[in-house]
Amino acid sequence: MIGFLLIGLLTPFLVCFVVLSLTLFPRRTSLSLFLLKASLSVGLGIGFSSVAFLLVLLDGGPSAQHQAWLVGLPSTAAVLAGIAQRNRSYGVGEDCPAPRDADEGPYLRWIGVLFWFSLVFMLGESLVLVHHFPHGAWDAWAGWNLRARFLLRGGENWLDLAQLSAFFVPWYPLLVPAFIAECWCFLGHDTWLVPPLVGLLYTLATVGLVAAGLTVLRSCWWGGLGGLVLTSSSLFVLSGTWQTADAPVAFYMTATVLCFCLVPRFPRVESRLVLLAGVMAGFAAWTKREGLAFLVCVSAARLLFSERGLEWRRRSKDLLRFLVGALPGLLALAAFEIAVHNANPDRVWKTPDLAAEARIWDPGRWAEVIDLTGREVLAFGNWILPSFLVFLLLIGLGSTPAFRPALRSMLASLAFLFAVYLIYFFLSPDVLEWHAKSTVVRLFGQIWPSLVFLGMMAGRKLEKAESGAT
């Protein structure tokens, strides 16, 4: 049984790893590039598996024949991609126009040791928490895992989930439940083991993205520090073991940001990296509603804040490529929403909120939202955010010029997204204090890994920082 689970889990990861190795990055690989590809493969593998499983569900529910399909089809695709790439030379051994920093930062060895210590500590704590609370947080079992049970146990009647009470948000995207159900399918029954494993994989992969990404783009010093900040952020660690979709959506957001930042380093595969960023953003939309908002924000930011002087035609082409990449996730989302709507066309999706307009024009409400959000965000992760900002102020900003357009557009995307969250709070009919305590920190936790990555990318070169500080 465990063997079947391993096949179900490992096949998509390995296939994505092979495809990434062949199509994007040099074959001569370093440890950091290997970790980067492995981290990206986790999210890609889970995303494509969930889309494939949705197709299986729409085809009448899982069967033994479908399981063979789910393993065989991606493996064949990887072999074909390998054959197609064999005689091509692009993307291999390209020049690096954006040089990395020298690996000579202060406390270099200590930062490495502390990062690994913190990672092991995070893993240990996660395992202890999973042992004590195997079903995760309320939202996990009452939302994500419940729908996974419907997909597995419902068989050909899986769309019965459309008849669920509105409390269970049956129309919510299916990336996480579909992958969990697929693993259960390979196992033959539902077990508590899979959802925490998925949460843990996403948490580790996000740490991998930030640490390996910073190492590839800047230096080991920045990679270790970025990883350390992330593994020390308590809420980020907890969200993985909660088994909610916050960890997966944070992963896809970070992966999108990272892919855009990789473009100046690997310019010969620019179009493929933009496409990959689109795939990741599409999977973010297929994970949670916030992911859909993120996709819109990135599109707007890329159009407005790409390289200065870049003509609109080229920007539009860039955007089109990004959106083409997002198609797998977006099409899966659309197919699922249509299926749920057809299964329960009489559902009242949302009662009109007539008081929303009045709330927009209430200055007291604005002040309350900003006050509560600010307090929750500042206290996030045991006050790690203010410390991170002070760190950036002390070390100073001054990234390599080649990275600046990508950093600018990605920071703008996150700012847009945060503005969307704030507008949601302005309009929400719920009591703000309760809302803020239950939601703000989680929403901020979704963009936290991307912020850490961008902050570290924007930091001044070490030699300059040290001389400036002394």
Site for other proteins in 185-204 (CB under 8 A): 192
| CB closer to other proteins out of 82 and 134 | 134
Contact 211, 223 (CB under 8 A): yes
- Which span (283-291, 310-318, 382-390, 409-417) binds other proteins, by CB under 8 A? 382-390
Number of residues engaging other proteins in binding (CB under 8 A): 71
- Kindly state the smallest distance separating residue 424's Cβ from other proteins, in Å: 13
Determine if 167 is a binding residue for other proteins (CB under 8 A): yes
In the complex with other proteins, which residue's Cβ is closer, 85 or 244?
244
Which of 173, 223, 240, 381: binder of other proteins (CB under 8 A)?
381
In the beta sheet, which residues pair with residue 397?
A: 459
Contacting residue, 94, 112, 123, 160, with other proteins by CB under 8 A: 160
Minimum distance from residue 121 beta carbon to other proteins (Å): 6
Nearer to other proteins, 160 or 307 (CB): 160
Per-residue binder mask for other proteins (CB under 8 A), 98-137, x = binder: -------xxx--xx--x---x--x---x--xx---xxxxx
**Interacting span for other proteins (CB under 8 A) from 31-39, 64-72, 210-218, 431-439:** 431-439
Subset of residues 226 to 265 that bind other proteins, contact rule: CB under 8 A: 228-229, 231-234, 237-238, 241-242
The helix, strand and coil proportions of the chain, stated in percent and rounded to the nearest 5, come to 80, 0, 20
In angstroms, how far is the first alpha carbon of the chain from the final one? Answer: 60
Q: How far is the CB of 225 from other proteins (least distance, A)?
A: 7
Other CB atoms within a 10 A radius of the CB of residue 132 amount to 8
Q: Which stretch binds other proteins (CB under 8 A): 45-53, 87-95, 260-268, 386-394?
A: 386-394
- The residue (of 29 and 163) whose beta carbon lies closer to other proteins is 163
Least separation in angstroms between CB 303 and other proteins: 32
CB 381 within 8 A of CB 232: yes
Site for other proteins in 204-233 (CB under 8 A): 225, 228-229, 231-233
Q: Which is nearer to other proteins, 135 or 315 (CB)?
A: 135
**Binding flag, residue 29, other proteins (CB under 8 A):** no
Nearer to other proteins, 100 or 149 (CB): 149
When binding is defined by CB under 8 A, the residue of 31, 104, 383, 397 that contacts other proteins is: 383
Nearer to other proteins, 358 or 393 (CB): 393
The answer to whether residue 390 forms part of the interface with other proteins (CB under 8 A) is: yes
- The CA distance from 442 to 248, in Å, is 12
Q: Around Cβ 179, how many Cβ atoms within 10 Å?
A: 28
Question: Which of residues 53, 388, 425, 453 is near other proteins by CB under 8 A?
Answer: 388
Q: Which is nearer to other proteins, 388 or 403 (CB)?
A: 388
Nearer to other proteins, 89 or 165 (CB): 165
Q: CA distances (Å), 216 to each of 70, 186, 221, 269, 330, in order?
A: 33, 36, 11, 16, 30
Q: Are 162 and 343 in contact (CB under 8 A)?
A: yes
Sign of the C-alpha dihedral computed for residues 229, 211, 258 and 464 taken in this order: positive
Write the burial class of residue 80 (CB in 10 Å: 0-12 exposed, 13-18 middle, 19+ buried).
Answer: exposed
**Residue pointed to by tokens 């100046």:** 264
Closest CA to 202 of 166, 173, 242, 169: 242
Judged by CB under 8 A, the residue of 50, 145, 206, 215 near other proteins is: 145
Taking the CA atoms of residue 450, residue 456, residue 460 and residue 465 in that order, the dihedral angle to the nearest 10 degrees is 150
Beta partners for residue 459, in sequence order = 397
* Sequence-ordered list of residues with C-beta below 8 angstroms from that of 416, at least 6 positions apart, any chain: 297, 300, 301
DSSP element (H, E) containing 425? helix 404-427
Binding to other proteins in span 334-353, by CB under 8 A: 347-351
- For residue 448, state whether it binds other proteins (rule: CB under 8 A): no
List the one residue from 153, 289, 315, 359 that touches other proteins (CB under 8 A). 153
d(CA 108, CA 101): 13
Q: Is 11 in the site for other proteins (CB under 8 A)?
A: no
Tell me the three state secondary structure of residue 282: helix
Instruction: Output the CA–CA distances (angstroms, integers) from residue 94 to 252, 272, 449, in the order listed.
Output: 26, 14, 28
Alpha-carbon Rg for the chain in angstroms: 22
Cβ closer to other proteins: 26 or 112? Answer: 112
* Residue nearer to other proteins on the CB measure, 90 or 107: 107
3-state SS, residue 350: coil
